[in-house]
Amino acid sequence: MLSTIKPSKKTIFLYLLVPVALFVFTVFVPLITALFYSFFDWKGGPVKTFSGISNYAQLFHDGTFWTAFGHNIYLVVICIIGQVGIAFVLVMMVNSKLVKFKTIHRTFGFFPSTIAAVCIGLIWNMIYHNQYGIINWFLKAIGRPDLCQVWLNNSKWVMLYVSIPLIWQYIGYYMVIILSAVSSIDTEIFESAEIDGANGFQKALYITLPLIKNTMLVCITLCVAGNMKAFDNIYVMTKGGPGTASMVMAMYGYQVSFSQTNMGYGSCISVAIFVLSLLVIGGSQGLIKRLTREKEA
Amino acid sequence: MDKKAKTNRPGKLIGGFFMNLVLWIFSLSCIFPLVWMLYSSFKEKRAFNADIIGLPKSPTLINYIRILTNKDYHLGESMWNSVRTTVLSIVLIVLFSYVVGYILARVRFKLNRVLYAMFLMGMLIPVHSLLVPIYVVFRNCGLSNRWFTLLLPYISFGLPMGIFLVEGYVKGIPVSLEEAAAIDGSTFSKTLFQVILPICKPILVTVAIIQVFSCWNEFSFALVLIKSVGLQTVPLALTQFKGQFASDYPKQMAAMLITMAPIVVLYFAFSKQIIKGMVSGAVKG
C-alpha cells in the first residue's frame, strides 16, 4: 500500500464510525441481549427473574418447537427438489435449440420472485379459497367437485400446500442463476458430445451438471438459508395452523414472544433458531461437499 | 443456431413441442395471478363472486376509488412510508457499502481484517433469529415505532452483501489510478468520491437493485417494530386489509395491485438489468 494515498487514522475512523456502529447495534447487540434474556423468566413486564437454564430445559421438551423445526427441514428438502430441481430441468429445456422466446420465459419466470412474500401469500390464499378459489373452480369445471376442499385447513397436507407457493415463487429465480452458469459453458463441448451420439438427458447429467456444480451448490445454500427463515408466507396463509400443522420456527418464536408475551422464552427460542439455522446451513454444505467428492473419487 | 445437429426425426419434433408446452405453462403460471388480479379488480364484488374467472362484463373503477378515498385504509400513507423507507435505505446502503467496501479493499489498518470478518459473519447470521431480540433492544432504547425505525435493520442487513460486492470490485481496479490522483494532489476524500466513485457505478447499481426489492417487500421486521397505523409499510398494510376485506376479493386485489405497481413497472421496464443484478448479487454474495 502506498503511503501517498494512505489516509490518516482519524479520517478512516470518521468514515467507518456510522456504518460499523449501526451494524453492531442492530446485529450484535440484539444477539447478546437475546442470549442474556434467555436465562430469565420474563413475561414482557418489568419483572425479570433469573431462572438459569430452565428455558432451555423447557425448549428441549417443547414438542411444538421441534415440530416447527421439522417443518423447516421439510421446507428445505421439498424446496431443494422443487425449486432447484425443477429449475434445472427447465433450464435444460430453455437451452434446447427447439425452444423459442427464451427471453420471455426468463422475464416471466423471474417475475414472482420480485413480488413481496406477503402478496404471494395473499394471492395463494385466493387461489386456495374454498368458495372463490381457482383450484376449487377448476375442480368443479372438470366435473370433480368431490375433490374440492378447504385446502389450508387440511392439517395432514397443509405443509405441502404452503410449500407450493414458495416453490412456484422461486423456480424462476434459480432458473436464471443456473441459466447464467450454463451459458458460460463452451458450446463446443456439447457439439462434440452430440457427434458422439449423446442425447439430451446424457448431456444434462454428464456434462452440464458436473460443469455447473459450484453454481448448484450456491443455489442449494441459498435454498437452505432461505427456508430456515420461512415466515412471511406462513404468517399470511396459515399463521402456523391449523393447530401447529404448519408451524415453523420463526412463526413459533413470534407467537411465544408477542401473542403469549413470553419474552424470556421467546429469546431462548431466538437463540435456538440462530444456532440450529447455522448448524443446518453448515451441515448441509459439509454433506454436499462430501457427497460430491466421493462421486469424483 | 447450429445447423448440422438439426435432424427432423419425429421424436425430436414431439420432444420440442413438449418442451415448449411445459415452458409456456410455467411462464404463463408465473404471470397469470397478476393478469387475473388486474382484470378482476375491475369487477364488483357481486360480479366476482358469481364468476371468479370471467372477464369483467361491466368494468368499474369502484374498488380503486373506494380504496384511495377511504381514509381508514391508510393506503396512501403506507405507500409514502414504503417509498421513504426504501429510498433512504438504498441511498444509505449504497453510500456506506461504497465507503466501507473501498476502505476494506484499499486501506491497511489494524482492524481491517476484524471488520471484514464481522461483516462476513453478518451475512451468515440468520436474520430471523433477530426478530424478537431487535424488538427488545429497540423498545428499551425508545427506537421502535418511529418513522426511521425500519431504516436501521434494513441498512444493517443490506450492508454485508453491498460491502462484499464493492470490495471485490474495487480490488479489480488498478491502484495506479489512485497513485496518479495522489500525485495530482488529490486528498483521500476527493479520490474516494471523485475518482473511484464513477468507476464503481455498475456495482453500486447492482447493490441498489438488490435492495429495492428486499426493502420494498420486507415484512417481518416491519410487523414487529411498527405499531402505529400511520407508520405502516405496504406489506404490513396489506395484511391488515386481509382482515378488513375478508371476502371482498376484487377490493383486496385492487389494493395489492396499487402496492405492487411501482415494483411491477420497474421490473418490466428494466427486467434485463434487474435479473442480471440480482443474479450477480446472489452468486457473488
Give the H or E element holding residue B263.
helix B249-269
In A, minimum Cα distance to B225 occurs at A258
What's the pLDDT at A64?
Answer: 93
Q: Does A172 touch chain B (CB under 8 A)?
A: yes
DSSP state of B146: S
Cell of B43: 369487477
Cell numbers that stand for A87 in this block: 429449475
A206 touches chain B (CB under 8 A): no
- Residue A281 domain flag: no
pLDDT for position A4: 46
Task: Quote the CA–CA distance of A86 and B26 in Å, as a whole number.
Answer: 10
Number of domains in chain A: 1
Residue A116 domain-assigned (yes or no): yes
Has residue B2 got a pLDDT over 60? no
Task: Please give the residue range of the domain that contains residue A178.
Answer: 63-247
Share of chain B above pLDDT 90, in %: 38
* Helix locations, B107-196, DSSP H: 112-124, 131-140, 151-171, 176-183, 188-190
Q: Using one digit for the tens of pLDDT, what is the confidence trace for A259-288?
A: 888 889 999 999 999 999 999 988 988 888
Mean pLDDT, residues B160-164 taken together: 92
Tell me which of A135-149, A182-196, B4-18 is least confident: B4-18
pLDDT above 90 as % of chain A: 41
Is residue A150 included in any domain, yes or no?
Answer: yes
Distance, in angstroms, between A33 CA and closest chain B CA?
7
B260-276 tens-digit pLDDT: 999 999 999 988 888 88
In a domain, A20, yes or no: no
- Residue/partner pairs of B54-59 with CB below 8 Å, 24 or more apart: none
How confident is the model over A139-149, as pLDDT tens digits?
Answer: 888 888 888 88
Residue A227, in any domain of the structure:
yes
CATH of residue A141's domain is 1.10.3720.10
Q: Which domains does chain B have, with CATH numbers?
A: 10-66 (no CATH), 72-284 (1.10.3720.10)
Domain membership of residue A71 (yes or no) is: yes
Is 0.90 exceeded by the ipTM? Answer: no
Give the one of B34, B103, B235 whose C-beta lies nearest to A16's C-beta. B103
A191 touching B (Cβ < 8 Å) = yes
Closest residue on chain A to B135 (Cα):
A30
What's the gap in Å between the CA of A294 and the closest CA on chain B?
A: 25
In chain B, helix, strand, coil percent, each to 5?
Answer: 75, 0, 25
Is there a contact between A30 and B137 if contact means CB atoms under 8 Å apart? yes
Beta bridge partners of A50: A40
Give the whole-angstrom CA distance, residue B163 versus residue B210: 13
Closest chain A C-alpha to B81 CA, distance in angstroms: 16
Identify whether A262 is part of a domain.
Answer: no
pLDDT of residue A183: 85
When scoring B127, B136, B236 by the number of chain A Cβ atoms within 10 A, the one with the most, hence best to mutate, is B136
- pLDDT beyond 60 at A256: yes
B5: cell is 445437429
pLDDT bucket at A49, cuts 50 / 70 / 90: confident
Grid cell at residue A15: 468514515
Report chain B residues whose CB lies below 8 A from the CB of A134: 36, 52-53
**In the predicted structure, residue B4 carries a pLDDT above the cut 70:** no
Distance from CA of A263 to the nearest CA of B (A): 8
Which residues of chain A lie closer than 8 angstroms to B107, CB-CB?
A: 1, 6-7, 12
Task: Give the strand pairing for A48-50 and A40-42.
Answer: antiparallel
Cell readout for A208 is: 452440464
B27, A271: Cβ pair inside 8 Å? Answer: no
CA pair distance B18, B1, nearest whole angstrom: 20
pLDDT of residue A101: 86
Taking CB atoms and an 8 Å limit, are B53 and A134 in contact across chains?
Answer: yes
With cell 459439509, the residue in question is A286
Among chain B residues, the shortest Cα distance to A191 is held by B5
Whole-angstrom distance, CA of residue B143 vs CA of residue B156: 15
User: What pLDDT score was predicted for residue A213?
Assistant: 85
What ranges make up the beta strands (E) of chain A? 40-42, 48-50
Is the model's pLDDT at B179 over the cut of 90? no
Q: Among A15, A126, A269, whose Cβ lies nearest the Cβ of B99?
A: A15
Specify the DSSP class assigned to residue B151: H
Burial of A187 (0-12, 13-18, 19+ CB in 10 A): exposed
Report the percentage of chain B scoring pLDDT > 70: 95
Residue B36 has pLDDT above 70, yes or no: yes
Tell if the CB–CB gap between B129 and A274 is shorter than 8 Å.
Answer: yes
pLDDT for A1:
46
Is residue B252 pLDDT above 90, yes or no? no
pLDDT at B24: 93
CA gap B78, B73 in Å, rounded: 9
CA dihedral A286→A289→A290→A295, nearest 10 degrees, is 160
Chain B residue closest in CA terms to A217: B283
Provide the mean pLDDT of chain A.
87
Most confident listed range (A19-23, B69-73, B120-124): A19-23
Residue contact B5–A97, C-beta within 8 A: yes
**Measured CA distances, B137 to A27, A45, A47, A91, A287 (Å):** 10, 14, 16, 45, 36
Query: Residue type for B2, please?
Result: D
pLDDT at B251: 87
Q: Identify the pLDDT of residue B73.
A: 80
**B88-111 b/e (C-beta count within 10 Å ≥ 16 → b):** bbbebbbbbbbbbbbbbbbbebee
Asked if the structure places residue A28 within a domain, the reply is no
- Which residues lie below 8 Å from residue B109, measured CB to CB, with a gap of 6+? A9, A12
- Taking the CA of residue A6 and the nearest CA in chain B, the distance in Å comes to 7
d(CA A185, CA B207): 26
Q: Give the model's pLDDT for residue A26.
A: 92
- Mean pLDDT lowest among A236-250, B65-79, B236-250: B236-250
Distances (CA, A) of B51 to A140, B44, B78: 13, 11, 31
